[in-house]
Structure 1
Amino acid sequence: MRLYGDPVLRRKARPLTATDTLTVPGFGPQTVREVADTMMETMFEQRGVGLAAPQIGLGVRLFVAVEYEDDEEEGGDDDTPLKSRVLRDFVMINPVIAVLNKKKDKSYQEGCLSIPGIYEEGVPRARQIAVRYTDLDGQERTIEAEDYLARVFQHEIDHLDGVLFLDRLPAEVTDDHRKELLKIQQHSKNFLANLSSWEKEQHLKERL
């Protein structure tokens, strides 16, 4: 999981196709379906509701998300298997949003798996949207969503454009979390240093 402070979270992700072969840093080449399956499992392990490819270090326009039976409390009881509460799951390639209701909603609390432990209300999101995307079979689809699910989709698509939910709040909100964010950044820095060492070792092994 890539954390706040990792440059990949600030880059605009590139388009892809369902037949592409992807290489997640730290792993070997995989199909888009394999990556999506791993992302879904990672999301469940972290007790999340969505996960975008940049959050695992992959700069492509792909995200996974689910709708739970009790979507406003997606974290729920840590002992409750999240998979048992899934109503629908989504894998979206190259998603594009169309706003159907421009009225903004600020009533939900948002958090982010890449910014653990920090939650804030007041993030303005469109109440109703349509998302056009490609599925894992390469078929183009469109889905309409409103309220909480619309918020989830907007949050994940923001990740594909290098935008974090704190960016949509006043600067003083981020300032209030400065100490926590610095700790997260340090964890991110340590992870990237270890990943770089691993990649160098792999490169040397390939040359032998």
Structure 2
Amino acid sequence: MSDAPSIYPIRLYGDPVLRRKARPLAHTDTLELPGFGPQNLRQVADTMLETMFEARGVGLAAPQVGLGVRMFVAVEYEDDEEENEGQETPLKSRVLREFVMLNPRLSVIDKKKVRSETEGCLSIPDIYEEGVPRARAVRLDYTDLDGRMQSVEAEDYLARVFQHEFDHLEGKLFIDYLPQDTVNEYRGALLAMQRQAKQHLDRLRHQAADGHRHERL
């Protein structure tokens, strides 16, 4: 049997978990998602990274997989701006640095706002837009998987990644920064995502109800 982590389903726009402020956690916590059973945070981080690579992303926050906790994973690739996005080049072969952050605190180092970069989100697939204002440089202080305090400074594209993932922990999405006219252009796609999100939640509720019925038999 393979030891490779399974892949988490990514929650889509319209799922309430994406709009809730995530709660703090300890590095010794155990978390559980339907269909996966209890996992320690190292297992969760490994599975989140595998999920992110499978989706060809650069970051993934815990709420995006249904876990309302203050945790995200991110990587820095050899080509920061994902010039090879959409190709079949194995992303793992291009990783320079890998980050797993628990309870991150974000501080702005350079307040200059950059709006020219294109931004997207694994929870809002196939929508990419410029105009999201992000600080050019930030610092994050966080706890690692061993419970040690760490800090990292980032600028430009990696700073944007960190700010995007940190927003997820605050219940914010990148489209919140876009003009309403721009968001309205994607109304049909967003409504379709909301329907998919509801269907996924309905399946989870039915699975949970079936599990409870079996327990009572």
Q: Which residue of 1 aligns with 2:120?
A: 111
Give the Cα separation in 2 of the matches to 1:152 and 1:111. Answer: 10
Q: Which residue of 2 aligns with 1:53?
A: 62
**Does 2:161 align with 1:152?**
yes
Q: Which residue of 2 aligns with 1:19?
A: 28
Other structure's SS at 1:152 match: helix
Q: Which amino acid aligns with 1:24?
A: L
Residue correspondence of structure 1 range 186-205 to structure 2 within 5 A: 186-205=195-214
CA spacing shift, 1:75–1:96, aligned 2, 3 Å: farther
Other structure's SS at 2:192 match: helix
CA spacing shift, 1:106–1:120, aligned 2, 3 Å: same
Residue correspondence of structure 1 range 73-84 to structure 2 within 5 A: 73=82, 76-84=85-93
TM-aligned CA deviation for residue 27 of structure 1:
2.5
Residue correspondence of structure 1 range 104-183 to structure 2 within 5 A: 104-183=113-192
Identical aligned pairs, as a percentage? 66
Give the Cα separation in 2 of the matches to 1:26 and 1:172. Answer: 39
1:100 equivalent among 106, 109, 118: 109
Give the Cα separation in 2 of the matches to 1:181 and 1:139. Answer: 40
Q: Which residue of 2 aligns with 1:62?
A: 71
Q: Which residue of 2 aligns with 1:87?
A: 96
Give the Cα separation in 2 of the matches to 1:161 and 1:77. Answer: 29
Cα deviations by residue, 1:87-137 (Å, 9 ceiling, x for unpaired): 000000000001001110011100000000100001000000100000000
**Does 2:70 align with 1:35?**
no
Aligned length: 208
Other structure's SS at 1:172 match: helix
TM-aligned CA deviation for residue 174 of structure 1:
1.0
TM-aligned CA deviation for residue 74 of structure 1:
6.0
Verify the 8 A CA contact 1:48 1:74 in the aligned structure 2. no
Q: Which residue of 2 aligns with 1:206?
A: 215
Q: Which amino acid aligns with 1:105?
A: V
Verify the 8 A CA contact 1:10 1:162 in the aligned structure 2. yes
Q: Which residue of 2 aligns with 1:2?
A: 11
Structure 2 spans left out of the alignment, 5+ residues: 1-9
TM-aligned CA deviation for residue 206 of structure 1:
2.9
TM-aligned CA deviation for residue 76 of structure 1:
2.2
Give the Cα separation in 1 of the matches to 2:151 and 2:191. Answer: 39
Q: Which amino acid aligns with 2:99?
A: F
Q: Which range moved further: 70-79 or 155-164?
A: 70-79
Name the TM-score, length of structure 1 as normaliser: 0.97
State the 4+ residue runs in structure 1 displaced beyond 3 angstroms. Answer: none
Structure 1 spans left out of the alignment, 5+ residues: none
Other structure's SS at 2:56 match: coil
Give the Cα separation in 1 of the matches to 2:50 and 2:83. Answer: 15
CA RMSD, aligned part only?
A: 1.1
Give the Cα separation in 1 of the matches to 2:24 and 2:54. Answer: 27
